[in-house]
Structure 1
């Protein structure tokens, strides 16, 4: 193992691989007649197949440092990165899409997980990128839409393109919005409300100095040239959605409003409150107030990776909190409210509430819940939030922010007034991934009624587990635990599909798990 580590460059300061640059692998668990069917396959991207054929790494990527194979030769101007298709996944229109924000989607067979190839979504995608995050909305006629985006940065500035796809995969709307005073852009996620597409721009800048003095000499990755500037504000950008049933979108204009500096990887949900509540919050008739629930990091550093952080990382520093932003576009004001004291990530609503008022939020959290100290994700939380929280007049954004901070600090369980939290602790040396809420089927099913599925790494047994929790009683513990005979690779994002997409249960010959006989050295 020591020789393998040396060969792979772990002890080479000029060469470091990063988890975010790993090849995409789809893990599928399908349920039918009381049985669970597990399968997994790599996304066989063009880069993956070329490296398999060569038997060695051929491509770098944005978070890795140095040459692809760890050799001394490094061409810093070769930015032809591999599409790793490793971040998001969605079954839509008869395809399964593996998504990575710096490349095009890869289409796969939703049942066998066989890779079909890179996709331009029927010609809808003209550029070279498509986001890994998206929103699925339910329209007035009951149909669903896949709402997503892509970004472009060049000498002419930056722009974001929003897409809406129908259930059959056809393009319904495409909206291009140029970002003012933005030379480069890093947008990982988006939101949608009834009348707006919504993004949050953190104060991220590209450091030319770091590129010239560190990157070209293999002392940092290209991603590490992105730096956080706490002296600049963040920005909320609202872009009107075309073709809304109310017709109001034709009279709305894009808005950009400043917020305190922060960075957002993942959002929760956005909605436009009822007109009475909107007016109470300071809205001008005809331009709706927008409520945004998101996970805001106090600051961010792309230098943090598996090589650089230890126990001291979890004292103060960069923390991620569940935050509500009440946006008054006409008044040019954004009022922030911190909802929980503990650090959280991978938060999402009941998907039936997307773009609508919501009350239940699910996500991963630490088990420290302290003003200064925090920790890795070891729990799953449910936060029940009053949809009217924050929809009252405020004398100023600063005063409202201070009031919200005092309220959270004063709560015995670290919750703001109007918020209730229920938390399940996975246990010592057990680390959950992204929790996934699955609604209970049926017309009488209410918001937040269903189950939470979460993959857990058990560090004691070095195996993976799939835990099923009652979404209304998380702290009571698992309803069921599916124990796998092997590890689960660290994952990012998943999705739920209501149809059975597993293997045919009548087939007798199903592939079985086999331990790897060898580990190939780089």
Structure 2
């Protein structure tokens, strides 16, 4: 008898119902200034089977908060062409079908559109209007101008409103393309970046003057595509090397400066900013990456990379030894100095019981605040919801938390400035929310 894979058991197992529930029970008091949707995306295979955690059909779970009440919970699969018509590799014109992705990794808002993202395909627009919440509008390819996949981790410049992103992949060059959409949502720039191979580039960095790409040694292996059972077609290859590519924003077709770092893998960047003639990057760094098993053999932790542009060097420094992932900031400080960053402590598939926690890093002093959720209570990624108009000011952290003892999930709201204090509120959900990836607080205003 074949054992069920770890990524389909426990709270990694998918749910099979799409629900809409109103007037949810709450413990504590929801801040009355929180008016909007908390949305979180993640893999939820419709047939309850997938070759890897990363490959399930996208499902968005949302909680609506209004005037101190939790007025609704809703979960919906993203109706991609793969979901509605089955998996397709080619589009009928000889190209890869970029509409046939999973749309399972992130959900972001830009220029009035809410987009469900996966890095191997086009975005899908989601309807958040009253009465239509979380229904799929359709594929969004920027009026036909986008011809590559779109990263699940685009960056919005807080000064210009531009959306910066990239697309990677393909069996033949070009393997990487940098894109920029203006504040109105029009794709205005696409530029090929020359890299020697197709590597799994999940995230990148934005600063006031630069974008920084991470060309790291998780390399596409075509032989794995042909293996039975699916899975991720990538291998850890430290011989490929590891490097950071620096491009000036004011010269987007200019030279990319490549600077070597020690071989490692980074799923997620916390933030980056300019500091004189240096660029400071904060990342959750994996010492290696075993794609077939989910995470690598070493544990991820917070590191700082400092690029000296004058010398052409990178200084690498580990800041903490607590294993963590899913780093987030107040997104209004993207590309600017951000004093605080947050990360999640949770077990990877098959890791067994690990106490769940959220961390708040003071990047100026090095201190770390921690919120422990108690035995068997595991948080997902926490998104920051601001309390006022001051970037870096007060706010709340919102995260789905799974309780293994009861098999239930809550939306937990914490005061970001008093992280170790008890939750401000817990919204009790009508069904379990499986572990997933990324989301955002979508304020009405």
Structure 1 pair 228–352 and aligned structure 2 pair: CA distance change class (3 A):
same
Counterparts of 1:60 and 1:119, CA distance in 2:
18
Contact 1:469 1:479 in 2 (8 A): yes
2:372 is matched with which residue?
Answer: 425
**Are positions 1:345 and 2:325 aligned together?**
yes
Quickly say closer, same or farther: Cα 1:86–1:441, change in 2 above 3 A.
Answer: same
Residue 232 of structure 1, CA deviation: 4.7
Q: In the alignment, which residue of structure 1 is the partner of 2:440?
A: 495
Residue in 2 that maps onto 1:436? 383
Q: 5+ unaligned residues in a row in structure 1: which ranges? A: 51-57, 62-78, 243-248, 276-287, 368-372, 387-417, 501-522
- 2:350 aligned with 1:357: no
Instruction: Using the TM superposition, name which of 197-206 and 251-260 deviates more.
Output: 251-260
Displacement of 1:334 in angstroms is 0.4
Partner residue of 1:296 out of 285, 302, 314: 285
Q: Structure 2-normalised TM-score?
A: 0.80
**What secondary structure is seen at the aligned counterpart in 2 of 1:130?**
coil
> Displacement, 1:94?
2.8
Structure 1 residues 253 and 59, CA, compared in 2 at 3 Å: closer, same or farther? closer
**1:105 maps to what in 2?**
123
Q: How does 1:164-313 map to 2 (within 5 A)?
A: 164-179=180-195, 182-207=196-221, 211=223, 216-218=226-228, 221=230, 223=232, 225-242=233-250, 249=251, 253-273=255-275, 275=276, 288-305=277-294
Superposed CA RMSD in Å reads 3.1
State how far apart, in whole Å, the 1-side matches of 2:373 and 2:145 are: 43
Aligned-partner Cα distance in 2 for 1:352–1:90 = 14
Alignment of 1:94 onto 2:39: no
| Native 8 Å contact 1:380 1:425 kept in 2 | yes
SS at 1:346 equivalent? strand
2:120/2:169 contact within 8 Å kept: no
Which residue of the other structure, out of 360, 384, 387, is the alignment partner of 2:362?
Answer: 384
Contact 1:347–1:364 under 8 Å retained in 2: yes
Q: What is the CA-CA distance between 1:377 and the residue it aligns to?
A: 6.9
For structure 2, which runs of at least 5 residues remain unmatched after alignment?
A: 10-48, 90-95
Is this contact kept in 1: 2:122–2:139, CA < 8 A?
yes
Tell me the matched-pair count.
Answer: 391
Q: Which has the higher strand share?
A: 2
Distance 2:110 2:415 in 1: 27
Select the structure that is richer in helix.
1
Aligned: 1:332 with 2:312 = yes
Structure with the larger RCO, 1 or 2 (CA within 8 Å, 6+ apart)? 2
SS in structure 2 at match of 1:26? strand
- Structure 1 residues 472, 426: CA separation in 2 closer, same or farther (over 3 Å shift)? same
Q: Aligned in 2, Cα 1:217/1:48: closer, same or farther, shift over 3 Å?
A: closer
CA–CA distance in structure 2, aligned partners of residues 108 and 80 of structure 1: 20
Could you tell me whether the CA contact under 8 Å between 1:153 and 1:185 is conserved in 2? no
Shift of 1:222: 5.4
SS at match of 1:342: coil
State the partner residue of 1:119: 140
